[in-house]
Chains A and B, each alone.
Chain A
């Protein structure tokens, strides 16, 4: 059934980042979080961005998702150059074309699960398609939880609601920032399975930032970052392959935060 849904050609590019530079701080305390990072995200695939602490992977995701501005370079979502967009246009773009899953605090506590899922649409003054909502709920196994508020849900359920929210507007790309970081391994595996299914069966482009090799082993392709640059990548990764790549990457520099 899912296969009948929209599918994209695997060669199309969903996101392109070219020579992205992001500098934090001023004067002597500047940190080049991104230092000329270039990468492409193919549509319909499940891609992971990995790198040691301080490598700039989260910054990269924020830049590609239009959450933050960059100091130089270019980011395209589809064919839209988001670096040329104003703050409000970027917000509208996120609302309509991008989905998010964060590590924690994914849901608005005051809203029920279904209200949380519909949030990107209701913010735009639209109503969710009930059939699509029902299907997402059933695929994610949260049909019985739709009227509950976040504090009544388990961590795994909360993350699945967040995934539904990310998918509800049928975005061009979903960004997931350590989505399994707060889950135990069983719930983590399940969530990754769902994301993988969304990519492969629904053709949903998904970009996941993670530092966990076992989580990353679920994806189609891994892009490795170190010191703000893309330095390597890995197709159809396995845990041993990831671990061996990571061993080469451990950043010599120790930076505070990321």
Chain B
């Protein structure tokens, strides 16, 4: 009796722990996502505030917009004469000119290529400048430079060493000092090189011009100083307050965080949903086990409402405890999440985590609400226990399934599938999401009805294991609700992974096949860093076009512009040579027509905007403002994709509206009679001075273009694996509870001679069966939604289906195998049950 009591307490604790775990993991995910994005935003804010806090205003060339797609726009340099004009404005105490841009660092013959920027800027002493000397002296002569401590440490550079700074020009400079940035050793994922003004101007090819002028006002300057300064500058220049500037820069950087936050939160929601299934399941099993206790309470006079409150109270307690634990774990997990995200090519700034009250509040509320909502149905079932149930011996029997639920489930599921099918047949893609949700909801409602027959059929092969296998299949079939919700939780995780895998694989495949069809170039030279706008210095194209081995070198440039309020990208091409390296299908007009200053748009865009050849499209450029551009041709959608954007202009037009000189790609056709090896080595030699330029053959060029998809797929898969782990814990959880529930049956089996290994096989077999059921369901749903999405998108865009069979099979096998692992613990638990205690119970 004492032993029994102890065992029951242990059982309670296990039950409690497993329920808690499901909530904790979901809340951890939510908190981790929020903390990570908050932290990154705060770090960006701090960084840009530090960068500008020394000056009151920054004078720079005017632009129609400040940033696009996370990149600050290029601005024209300021003429030398402006400095005097600014200095002469009433109330200006200091006007410090700055030349800054990209300058690659080379040390010991190797280029230092950071994931982020290679900043080259002008030394401005503190407090005006943002960098503070940590060692050595400031740069005084044109051949001196200071670099950031972080870069120096990472590459073993010390004061006295020589580094080469390569921008428009390259020059070896002596490192005379090391700087920090505020309290940090440098800028995240960047290198910093700071020279004298003259040196920076020379390296950046600015002549005697500046990038911007930092202004400090006198104490006597009045509140109308900004107006005075702005009117003194005229319309071509603007003065931005440092606070605005920091905000704008931080906003630009944070733009790229937004999609990450949305993605992380979506995945957190998925894992919470999976968690909700588990919570509901656990509570419902617990209620079933306690039916007698509840019935006794009812018989003793407890009302339904009291029972409902008592179960919900328990849920509330679990929700609060688990959410608090989840918030704590989530804060710790944020740093790990940053590593994971970083590993998939999304570099985030390093620094202490920042936890806002909002994060804590949201996470707690979500965790508690999800727990309460999940416990609602079991609680209502508890409240409906009749006092007579106390007298009944067998409480385990399957609760009757409402006919309304079954009918509702069937209707919902059919409606969902119908919606998905109509999308494939041509209905708007937006219906797909609704269809998917309806299908899943319908199947969730139907689960307890379809699971028993499915479990018996799928479990048939288990009969080769003898009695344990047979009992495993029966056990899964005889607990429809339990099996259904455990299966659905795992199936949902698998559905998401499969969906993402299929869509990503199709997108990659389409990118590759389009590229192969359109681009006929033998080689393409691109920046290895994958900058938003390219990143090849103009000299790259120049050198390559001089090579005897190269017949044609055609370059591409990218630019951002605005259509109304939305930011779009365009590609500039060389109308004379593009035909030699790409075979473009035009729907109307000819690509070469852009030479006259017009724009070629994709057929899709023309359709969407209701424009045709001869119409004008208003394009707003940062430097030159809005301009009416004539549409001179329509390009096939797929071919536009191969050239990266839906809008094509000529390099000549580009030069008129942008100052950007970097090329995005240089397409090369080798001269006749030159072997691939000869061409490759000639190109490589020509690129010797351009460490970030990389020569790629077709395959490498394609993988460069699909890298982003791979990175997102990798990140999503890893995070979904976490959700899947929660679902697998669900199998462990429910089986452990089911073992407790079946204590007497196990005791009976043991007493009539079932040995422990057979009992373990029984539990393991059920775990695998549930996993396999989930694999079947998840594969059907994931593949269905994935295929439907790709087919639907393929109707309006360049996308065709590519099923990554081997990857999908691997996922299926892994999930089934994971079921085996999930069963280990409950199996051991079952086999360790003392048969005597098992018989004595009841």
A contact set with B: CB distance below 8 Å: 24-25, 29, 62, 65, 67-68, 87-88, 91-92, 94-96, 100, 102, 104-111, 115, 119-120, 122-125, 151, 165, 182, 256-257
In the bound complex, what is the Cα–Cα distance between A102 and B754 (angstroms)? Answer: 16
In the bound complex, what is the Cα–Cα distance between A111 and B463 (angstroms)? Answer: 13
B1-12 contact mask (Cβ, 8 Å, vs A): 1 or 0? 111000000000
Q: In this complex, what residue of B is CB-closest to A97? A: B753
Q: When A67-B836, A102-B839, A151-B394 are in contact, do A257 and B1 touch as well, CB less than 8 Å?
A: yes
In the bound complex, what is the Cα–Cα distance between A109 and B442 (angstroms)? Answer: 30
Q: Which of B111-119, B471-479, B549-557, B732-740 contacts A (4 or more CB under 8 A)?
A: B471-479
The reply to whether B745 and A123 form a contact with Cβ atoms under 8 Å apart is no
The reply to whether B752 and A105 form a contact with Cβ atoms under 8 Å apart is no
The reply to whether A108 and B748 form a contact with Cβ atoms under 8 Å apart is yes
Task: For A95, list chain B residues within 8 Å (CB).
Answer: 752-755
B452-468 contact mask (Cβ, 8 Å, vs A): 1 or 0? 00000000000000110
In the bound complex, what is the Cα–Cα distance between A241 and B745 (angstroms)? Answer: 38
The reply to whether A125 and B466 form a contact with Cβ atoms under 8 Å apart is yes
Q: Determine if B234 is an interface residue (Cβ-Cβ < 8 Å).
A: no
Task: For A106, list chain B residues within 8 Å (CB).
Answer: 748
Q: In this complex, what residue of B is CB-closest to A95? A: B753
In the bound complex, what is the Cα–Cα distance between A67 and B747 (angstroms)? Answer: 10
The reply to whether B748 and A88 form a contact with Cβ atoms under 8 Å apart is no
Q: When A24-B1, A104-B393, A108-B748 are in contact, do A120 and B753 touch as well, CB less than 8 Å?
A: yes
Q: Determine if B195 is an interface residue (Cβ-Cβ < 8 Å).
A: no
The reply to whether A94 and B751 form a contact with Cβ atoms under 8 Å apart is yes
B304-340 contact mask (Cβ, 8 Å, vs A): 1 or 0? 0000000000000000000000000000000000000
The reply to whether A123 and B758 form a contact with Cβ atoms under 8 Å apart is yes
Q: How many whole Å from A219's CB to the nearest CB in chain B?
A: 22
Q: When A67-B836, A256-B1 are in contact, do A108 and B753 touch as well, CB less than 8 Å?
A: no
The reply to whether B3 and A105 form a contact with Cβ atoms under 8 Å apart is no
Q: When A108-B745, A108-B748, A109-B478 are in contact, do A124 and B753 touch as well, CB less than 8 Å?
A: yes
Of the residues A24, A87, A105, A257, contact of B842 by C-beta under 8 Å: A105
In the bound complex, what is the Cα–Cα distance between A67 and B751 (angstroms)? Answer: 7
The reply to whether A123 and B753 form a contact with Cβ atoms under 8 Å apart is yes
Q: When A102-B839, A108-B471, A256-B1 are in contact, do A96 and B748 touch as well, CB less than 8 Å?
A: no
Q: How many whole Å from B769's CB to the nearest CB in chain A?
A: 13
7 A-B residue pairs with Cβ-Cβ distance under 8 Å, sorted by A, are A65-B751, A67-B839, A87-B756, A91-B756, A92-B755, A96-B753, A102-B839
Q: In this complex, what residue of B is CB-closest to A110? A: B474
The reply to whether A102 and B753 form a contact with Cβ atoms under 8 Å apart is no
The reply to whether A25 and B2 form a contact with Cβ atoms under 8 Å apart is yes
Q: In this complex, what residue of B is CB-closest to A119? A: B752
Q: Determine if B744 is an interface residue (Cβ-Cβ < 8 Å).
A: yes
Task: For B467, list chain A residues within 8 Å (CB).
Answer: 119, 122-123
Q: In this complex, what residue of A is CB-closest to B3? A: A24
Of the residues A100, A104, A109, A120, contact of B396 by C-beta under 8 Å: A109
In the bound complex, what is the Cα–Cα distance between A124 and B468 (angstroms)? Answer: 11
Q: Determine if B397 is an interface residue (Cβ-Cβ < 8 Å).
A: yes
Q: In this complex, what residue of A is CB-closest to B478? A: A110
The reply to whether B752 and A120 form a contact with Cβ atoms under 8 Å apart is yes
Q: In this complex, what residue of A is CB-closest to B834? A: A68
Q: How many whole Å from B145's CB to the nearest CB in chain A?
A: 77
Task: For B2, list chain A residues within 8 Å (CB).
Answer: 24-25, 29
The reply to whether B751 and A123 form a contact with Cβ atoms under 8 Å apart is no
Task: For B471, list chain A residues within 8 Å (CB).
Answer: 108, 110-111
Q: In this complex, what residue of B is CB-closest to A125? A: B466
Q: How many whole Å from A90's CB to the nearest CB in chain B?
A: 10
Sorted from nearest, which 10 A-B pairs have the closest CB atoms? A95-B753, A110-B474, A257-B1, A68-B836, A105-B744, A91-B755, A120-B753, A25-B2, A120-B752, A94-B753
Q: Determine if B166 is an interface residue (Cβ-Cβ < 8 Å).
A: no
Q: How many whole Å from A66's CB to the nearest CB in chain B?
A: 9
Which chain B residues in 215-236 approach chain A with CB under 8 Å? none
Task: For A24, list chain B residues within 8 Å (CB).
Answer: 1-3
In the bound complex, what is the Cα–Cα distance between A119 and B756 (angstroms)? Answer: 15
Task: For B748, list chain A residues within 8 Å (CB).
Answer: 102, 105-108
Task: For A68, list chain B residues within 8 Å (CB).
Answer: 836
In the bound complex, what is the Cα–Cα distance between A62 and B838 (angstroms)? Answer: 12
Total interface residues in chain B, CB < 8 Å: 30
Q: How many whole Å from B547's CB to the nearest CB in chain A?
A: 78
B222-259 contact mask (Cβ, 8 Å, vs A): 1 or 0? 00000000000000000000000000000000000000
Of the residues A62, A87, A100, A257, contact of B752 by C-beta under 8 Å: A100
In the bound complex, what is the Cα–Cα distance between A95 and B842 (angstroms)? Answer: 23
Q: In this complex, what residue of A is CB-closest to B471? A: A110
In the bound complex, what is the Cα–Cα distance between A112 and B236 (angstroms)? Answer: 91
Task: For A124, list chain B residues within 8 Å (CB).
Answer: 753
In the bound complex, what is the Cα–Cα distance between A69 and B334 (angstroms)? Answer: 52
In the bound complex, what is the Cα–Cα distance between A68 and B393 (angstroms)? Answer: 25
Q: Determine if B100 is an interface residue (Cβ-Cβ < 8 Å).
A: no
Which residue, of A110, A119, A151, has the highest number of chain B Cβ atoms within 10 A? A110
In the bound complex, what is the Cα–Cα distance between A100 and B592 (angstroms)? Answer: 94
B753-786 contact mask (Cβ, 8 Å, vs A): 1 or 0? 1111010000000000000000000000000000
Task: For B397, list chain A residues within 8 Å (CB).
Answer: 151
A sample of 8 more A-B contacts (CB under 8 A), given A88-B755, A102-B839, is A24-B3, A67-B835, A91-B750, A92-B753, A94-B751, A94-B753, A105-B842, A110-B470
Q: In this complex, what residue of A is CB-closest to B841? A: A105
Q: How many whole Å from A97's CB to the nearest CB in chain B?
A: 10
The reply to whether A100 and B478 form a contact with Cβ atoms under 8 Å apart is no
In the bound complex, what is the Cα–Cα distance between A123 and B470 (angstroms)? Answer: 11
Q: In this complex, what residue of B is CB-closest to A26? A: B2
Q: Determine if B68 is an interface residue (Cβ-Cβ < 8 Å).
A: no
Task: For B474, list chain A residues within 8 Å (CB).
Answer: 110-111
Q: When A25-B2, A105-B745, A123-B758 are in contact, do A62 and B478 touch as well, CB less than 8 Å?
A: no
The reply to whether A123 and B754 form a contact with Cβ atoms under 8 Å apart is yes
Q: In this complex, what residue of A is CB-closest to B756? A: A88
Which chain B residues in 340-366 approach chain A with CB under 8 Å? none
Task: For A256, list chain B residues within 8 Å (CB).
Answer: 1
In the bound complex, what is the Cα–Cα distance between A110 and B742 (angstroms)? Answer: 12
The reply to whether A108 and B749 form a contact with Cβ atoms under 8 Å apart is yes
Which residue, of B467, B471, B749, B752, has the highest number of chain A Cβ atoms within 10 A? B752
Task: For A107, list chain B residues within 8 Å (CB).
Answer: 748
Which chain B residues in 377-409 approach chain A with CB under 8 Å? 393-394, 396-397
Task: For A88, list chain B residues within 8 Å (CB).
Answer: 755-756
In the bound complex, what is the Cα–Cα distance between A125 and B468 (angstroms)? Answer: 11
In the bound complex, what is the Cα–Cα distance between A96 and B744 (angstroms)? Answer: 21
Task: For A122, list chain B residues within 8 Å (CB).
Answer: 466-467
Q: In this complex, what residue of B is CB-closest to A118? A: B467
Task: For B836, list chain A residues within 8 Å (CB).
Answer: 62, 67-68
In the bound complex, what is the Cα–Cα distance between A125 and B756 (angstroms)? Answer: 15
Q: How many whole Å from A169's CB to the nearest CB in chain B?
A: 8
In the bound complex, what is the Cα–Cα distance between A256 and B5 (angstroms)? Answer: 13
Which residue, of A29, A88, A124, has the highest number of chain B Cβ atoms within 10 A? A124
Q: How many whole Å from B476's CB to the nearest CB in chain A?
A: 10
Q: How many whole Å from B686's CB to the nearest CB in chain A?
A: 76
In the bound complex, what is the Cα–Cα distance between A233 and B713 (angstroms)? Answer: 79
The reply to whether A109 and B745 form a contact with Cβ atoms under 8 Å apart is yes
Q: In this complex, what residue of A is CB-closest to B837? A: A68
In the bound complex, what is the Cα–Cα distance between A65 and B752 (angstroms)? Answer: 11
Q: In this complex, what residue of B is CB-closest to A87? A: B756
In the bound complex, what is the Cα–Cα distance between A95 and B749 (angstroms)? Answer: 10
In the bound complex, what is the Cα–Cα distance between A100 and B758 (angstroms)? Answer: 19
In the bound complex, what is the Cα–Cα distance between A68 and B396 (angstroms)? Answer: 27
Q: How many whole Å from A40's CB to the nearest CB in chain B?
A: 23
In the bound complex, what is the Cα–Cα distance between A182 and B752 (angstroms)? Answer: 20
Q: In this complex, what residue of A is CB-closest to B393? A: A104
Task: For B835, list chain A residues within 8 Å (CB).
Answer: 67
Q: How many whole Å from A249's CB to the nearest CB in chain B?
A: 22
